[in-house]
Amino acid sequence: MRPGIVAHRAPQPSLDSRTDPLLRDAALAAVDAVNSCWERFDRAALVEEVKIGADGTPTYRLDDIVEGQIAAVAAKYGANVLSEELGFLDVGSARTLVIDPLDGSANAAAGVPLSCFSGVIVEDGTPREALTVWLEGGHVMWARVGEPVDYATSGQRELGASALGLLRPKVGAFGDTTEAWVALTRQSNRVRILSTSALEAMLVGRGAIDAFADPGSDTHRLVDLAAAQVFLPAAGGVVLDAFGREIEFDTDMTRRWSGIVAASESLGQQVAQVITEHVNAGVVV
């Protein structure tokens, strides 16, 4: 193994036989692409910024390659694509593949085994089916709207007894979120920072943690939350915006939310209350 090369590889995930072929092949393309990148490039090359994405942030080489291979799959199926780097690729289809090709790309590039593919099929503006794959672990979360699932949230209702996942504190659209972040850590029972929203949403859906939140920085885009919007309600949980805004399908990748993924409505609202008490969403800085 050459110095600077990520040593591990993503296993082939075991996907539900009911998975839509478009989602299935998109996920498998992500696995193949990330493995190829780990074999070909060292860490420095993986995080080289190759362009500015549609969401206004720099795009790593790793993200660009993985996204490109998934977009090729969507083209084969004649589907539109909505992604953080490419933006909206409209081919005139009623079906749109909404993807976060590599959530936790900084982890993936560094060799921290916490990154995910996350995708949703949206038909005429309505989410129908979602799939998230923890790439390094091979674990899968799948759901189709209206069908039962074999997993469930913890059902936790109280913030004081909860285990939270949080984005790190930062200066966002409404100012510094450090006070909100500290308040959540003090009022909850346990806190983790994994730096991959898709994986943390999976963990809420499986009952491993009770909630995950952006503490008011408006970091989340639709692609970060779309899959959770399908599988969390099926598992008994909720997906909210801390400031009460509707998280809706929109092809504008510059729109942002402060997402909360929680095991119960009660817990989600308690997390939101702490955030709004410490972050003024009426004042953009």
Binding-site residues, in ranges, read: 84, 100, 102-103, 224
The 8-class DSSP code of residue 135 comes to T
For residue 248, count CB atoms less than 10 angstroms from its CB and return exposed for 0-12, middle for 13-18, buried for 19 or more.
exposed
Q: How many residues does the chain have?
A: 285
DSSP 149-169: -S--------GGG-EEEEPPP
Run of H or E residues at 44 = helix 43-46
Give, in order, the Cα–Cα distances in Å from 114 to each of 30, 107, 155. 14, 6, 25
Distance, CA of 51 to CA of 117 (rounded, Å) = 21
Pairing of strands 58-60, 140-144: unpaired
Of 132, 156, 130, the closest CA to residue 143 belongs to 130
Q: Which residue has the tokens 């998280």?
A: 247
Dihedral pair phi/psi, residue 103, rounded to 5°: -75, 130
Residues annotated in a binding site for Mg(2+): 84, 100, 102-103, 224
Question: Is the Cβ–Cβ distance between 206 and 214 less than 8 Å?
Answer: no
d(CA 197, CA 260): 10
